[in-house]
């Protein structure tokens, strides 16, 4: 958030302006996301950057999905100096940098529909409650090759953790990791995933705003590096039938305000060493799971992933070892700093600012309302009968985006978290997307029904 009266903020601005001058950067890319989480970008002359830090950069908000109507379209971008990075794929003689921006109105007030602002508000409430929210997403993606006469296909025949000398995806993952480090992102793990052409690159956990910034940056980096190698990187949740889709399992924990104590840890073997605070946090996400599902899985294709049999969650339950329920508490070996829960339904195609905001806010409601998540379900939920699930109080996630939007539309909680602007705009945009999807006639339907019906 811009604040020239703050000495640290002003010092950061001066530092960035000096770096831009030192690197002989001619243009600065100002970036932000639309309501879907798609990066938007405009380039401005580096000569004007100090003035832009102070006075902002105007743009037309009516052309941005989920922002403002044309009759009140004027908006202003203010760069966050802590997000500065030189773009490593640009030649030195054409050096450029990027800054992630906050969105303001011409009246110099934060735009209520800015996804970054919605997460910042949730984090402010978290701080008021005495917590610091840390999270780490596992972003899965496919590397595919595009063909002139047919649909894109996976670029390899490898599987989970496979390694082959000279493996194509291994080299691309390394290039992505190296490029991400130029943006200050510390990569911890990279590996091939279960499906053909599927990969995962994980970065170190951090406070949620930094993590969301890094999540959108990772998507940008991954797509650009893949394109440089002649391939397409896609975060589409389920690009191919019959194999696993791409999820974004998100690890979460709450710490004290100075981040010296993990408040999810308790020396209680019975609960898997998860504290009452952690259990209530899980309880909140389970209770509000159906209502927030449209934010966590925000495209029609997302629900092709959320089906039994492909390691994706379908049922609202939690477990310590079992990976079939919605939320899992990993075995962290009684290490206090590693106590966490992992929610498994989000996918990497959504807006991480909104995703982390609803995850945090529903978890905090669980703590405030002292919601008991119930006993952990260590049986394979997929194999339970309907009656057995009913007896245990286990309900399903929505089966489609349309059903998820119905849940969200009836949710006072989601309206409170997102604010009226984003709540209404999200429903409008996603209803349009759902209507486009459900009016299509697929080749599968033609092949199956045209002769027999």
Active site annotation includes 342: yes
Q: Name which of 438, 422, 437 is nearest 65 in CA terms.
A: 422
- Phi first, then psi: give them for residue 179, nearest 5 degrees: -70, -40
Active site annotation includes 193: yes
Active site annotation includes 369: no
Cite the beta strand spans of 36-131 per DSSP E: 39-45, 57-60, 74-79, 85-86, 96-104
Percentage of the chain exceeding pLDDT 70: 96
- 34, 114, 120, 140: the catalytic one is 140
Pairing of strands 248-255, 85-86: unpaired
- 120, 156, 170, 200: the catalytic one is 200
Q: For residue 194, what pLDDT is reported?
A: 85
- 24, 54, 60, 378: the catalytic one is 60
Q: For residue 122, what pLDDT is reported?
A: 98
Q: For residue 387, what pLDDT is reported?
A: 79
Active site annotation includes 191: no
- 98, 344, 347, 407: the catalytic one is 344
Residue matched to tokens 């966490």: 340
pLDDT in tens, 324-349: 789 999 989 889 999 999 999 999 99
- 249, 251, 305, 340: the catalytic one is 249
Active site annotation includes 138: yes
User: Would you call 269 helix, strand, or coil by DSSP?
Assistant: helix
| Residue spans of the chain under pLDDT 70 | 1-5, 69-72, 149, 161, 165-167
- 261, 311, 342, 406: the catalytic one is 342
Helix (H) or strand (E) holding 10: helix 7-22
Q: For residue 182, what pLDDT is reported?
A: 95
Q: For residue 326, what pLDDT is reported?
A: 92
pLDDT in tens, 88-102: 998 777 889 999 999
pLDDT in tens, 379-438: 777 777 777 777 777 788 999 999 999 999 999 999 999 999 999 999 999 999 999 999
- 102, 114, 193, 347: the catalytic one is 193
On average, the pLDDT of the chain sits at: 91
Active site annotation includes 71: no
Burial of 53 (0-12, 13-18, 19+ CB in 10 A): buried
- 323, 389, 392, 431: the catalytic one is 323
Range 298-334 burial, b when 16+ CB lie within 10 A, else e: bbbbbbbbbeeebbbbbbbbbbbeeebbbbbbbebee
Active site annotation includes 340: no
Active site annotation includes 344: yes
Contact between 226 and 172 under an 8 Å Cβ cutoff? The reply is yes
pLDDT in tens, 427-444: 999 999 999 999 999 999
Q: For residue 260, what pLDDT is reported?
A: 95
- Residues 244, 295, 220: CA angle, nearest 5 degrees: 65
> Tokens for 277?
């605070």
Burial of 401 (0-12, 13-18, 19+ CB in 10 A): buried
């Amino acid at each position: 958030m811009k604040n020239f009266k703050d000495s640290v903020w002003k010092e950061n601005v001066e530092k960035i302006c000096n770096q831009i001058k030192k690197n002989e950067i001619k243009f600065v890319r100002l970036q932000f996301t639309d309501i879907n989480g798609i990066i938007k970008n405009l380039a401005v002359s580096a000569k004007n950057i100090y003035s832009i830090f102070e006075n902002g950069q105007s743009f037309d908000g009516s052309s941005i999905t989920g922002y403002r109507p044309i009759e009140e379209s004027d908006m202003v971008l203010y760069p966050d100096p802590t997000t500065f990075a030189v773009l490593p794929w640009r030649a030195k003689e054409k050096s450029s940098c990027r800054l992630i921006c906050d969105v303001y109105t011409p009246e110099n007030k934060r735009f209520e529909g800015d996804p970054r602002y919605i997460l910042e508000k949730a984090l402010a409430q978290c701080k008021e409650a005495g917590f610091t929210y840390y999270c780490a997403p596992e972003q899965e993606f496919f590397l595919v090759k595009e063909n002139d006469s047919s649909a894109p296909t996976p670029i390899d025949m490898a599987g989970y953790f496979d390694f082959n000398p000279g493996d194509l995806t291994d080299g691309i993952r390394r290039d992505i990791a190296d490029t991400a480090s130029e943006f200050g992102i510390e990569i911890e793990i990279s590996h091939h995933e279960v499906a053909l052409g599927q990969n995962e690159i994980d970065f170190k956990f951090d406070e949620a705003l930094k993590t969301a910034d890094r999540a959108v940056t990772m998507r940008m980096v991954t797509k650009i590096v893949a394109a440089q190698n002649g391939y397409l990187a896609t975060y589409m949740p389920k690009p191919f039938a019959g194999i696993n889709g791409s999820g974004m399992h998100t690890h979460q924990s709450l710490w004290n305000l100075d981040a010296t104590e993990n408040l999810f840890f308790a020396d209680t073997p019975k609960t898997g060493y998860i504290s009452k605070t952690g259990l209530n946090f899980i309880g909140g996400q389970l209770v509000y799971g159906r209502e927030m599902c449209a934010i966590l899985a925000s495209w029609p294709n997302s629900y092709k992933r959320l089906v039994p049999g492909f390691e994706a969650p379908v049922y609202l339950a939690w477990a310590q070892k079992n990976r079939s329920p919605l939320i899992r508490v990993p075995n962290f070996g009684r290490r206090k700093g590693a106590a966490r829960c992992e929610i498994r339904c989000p996918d990497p195609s959504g807006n991480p600012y909104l995703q982390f905001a609803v995850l945090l806010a529903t978890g905090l409601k669980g703590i405030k309302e002292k919601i008991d998540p119930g006993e952990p379900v260590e049986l394979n939920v997929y194999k339970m009968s309907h009656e057995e699930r009913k007896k245990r109080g286990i309900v399903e996630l929505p089966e489609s985006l349309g059903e998820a939007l119905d849940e969200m539309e009836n949710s006072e909680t989601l309206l409170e978290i997102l604010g009226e602007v984003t709540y209404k705009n999200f429903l409008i945009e996603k209803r349009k997307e759902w209507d486009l999807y459900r009016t299509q006639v697929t080749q599968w339907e033609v092949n199956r029904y045209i002769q027999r019906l």
